[in-house]
Structure 1
Amino acid sequence: MEEIKLYHYTSISHLIEIFRTGRLNISQTDKMLKVKKPGLWFSTNSEWEYSAFKRFNDGKKEFDLNKPEEFEKYIGCARLVTNLDSRFVTYAKYKYKSKAHPLVWEKMGEVGRSKGSNPDEWYATFSPLNIDNLDIEVYDNGKWYNLKKEDGELDTDLFNKNLEKTFIYKRGKELESKIEKPPSDKIDVKKPVVEEVKEEPVVEEVKEEPVVEEEPVVEEIEEEPVVEEEPVVEEVEEEPVVEEEPV
């Protein structure tokens, strides 16, 4: 009996994360939909799976990437390949195995069909898969190429070639270049105006010639007191009336 191949379509940018973890993980979409038992989705379609579309923003507008050529241009196009076995269930059985809400299950099929996909080609498993047990292919100029060499090592030249032609890679390099080489008109920041204020502060002038020390009002009052010039008590003692006519 001929083996049935299953394909998980993704981007090269996401493939980097898959390499980092060493495995293909459960669908984040299923988790966001709060499916009790989220799945990892594959398709029997060997050309392309339209339900794998991605929402993308190029900095000017937001749009869907629906075709492998669009993936290739903006985020790179890749797929992981395995054989159909007992670990997988059909889309129809997924409804019961995952305990997904019926409306969620129906909506998944509805969205897939609207993009040109056929849910009858969908298969899901409920555990992550180790990439050592998967074939990895990249889409390059209309064809799929195996990224793994015969000895099991990755073809880094093929991978880098497809990564470096993507929009996100080129944009990243542009931003990196701007950070490393700042515009010359911003170099003048080394001479701020604040330095001039520190050299000649107005506070120093006030301390050298204070107005208060030149003419204090308090000193004038102490030099000429009115009380000491004409005391009334002295006049009474000089001419007493009692001594002139004693009885």
Structure 2
Amino acid sequence: MIWPGALVQCAFFRTLHESKEEDAVNNVTRWKMSRLRLLLYVALASFLYYWLPGYIFPLLAAFSFLCLLKPTNLLFSQITGISGLGVGSVHLDWSYITAYLASPIIVPGWAQLNILFGFVVLVWIVTPIMYYTNTWGSKAFPLGTTDLYRADGSLYDITVVLDQNSKLNETAYKQYGTIRLTVMFALAYGPTFAALTSCIVHTILFHGKEIIRQFNMSITEAMNEVHAKLMARYGEAPEWWYTIVFCVNVFVACL
């Protein structure tokens, strides 16, 4: 099992601590620049570039050429606009690109394809179908926003349904009305609950046998792994230690 994020951290710390001699020995390629120099160049370039979308020219952060063709057309703006479906929009701000998902440099290609497929299905297919068919009365609200609304399309004032202790006043809630979400927010919010269980199912299906094998394997039996060889000189911790730590963590998490 490989963790791409951990590989990036390992490469970063290796760059900081590896000497020039070790770098020359471990990286026998045509690339003459050291890891540390490359890191400094990239850090400097990213620092200088961020002044453009972050301060000097914020339009570079996110823009849509297609939306500028017919800015007064509501339907076209909803499809191509940054605040809509974003078809044809461009993001040149790295903080925008990595705002909701991990860095595309770290995430493997197959995972990015899965994300892209899910995005196209939910955002570019399911969302417009539900919105333009007025499912859940969605046309009363904007297409894509995280704000909360009432059934008539006005913003939901959460303070109306809370008492002095910031707890829900059920009577006021029934009188004021239920909270309504935009269709895009609902479709983005709902799958996050499914993602929690899907991670468990994915791990069981694709890595279940490996986890069981590693769980049953003692540290002295896993001598083919470098870390295990280093740890083999120490005695194994009793199983009840891990059980106590697990139970304490579960108890604290439930508080």
**TM-score for both structures, normalised by structure 1:** 0.25
Give 1 or 2: higher helix fraction. 2
Bigger fraction of residues in strand: 1
Question: Higher Cα Rg: structure 1 or 2?
Answer: 1
Which protein has greater RCO, CA pairs closer than 8 Å, 6+ apart? 1
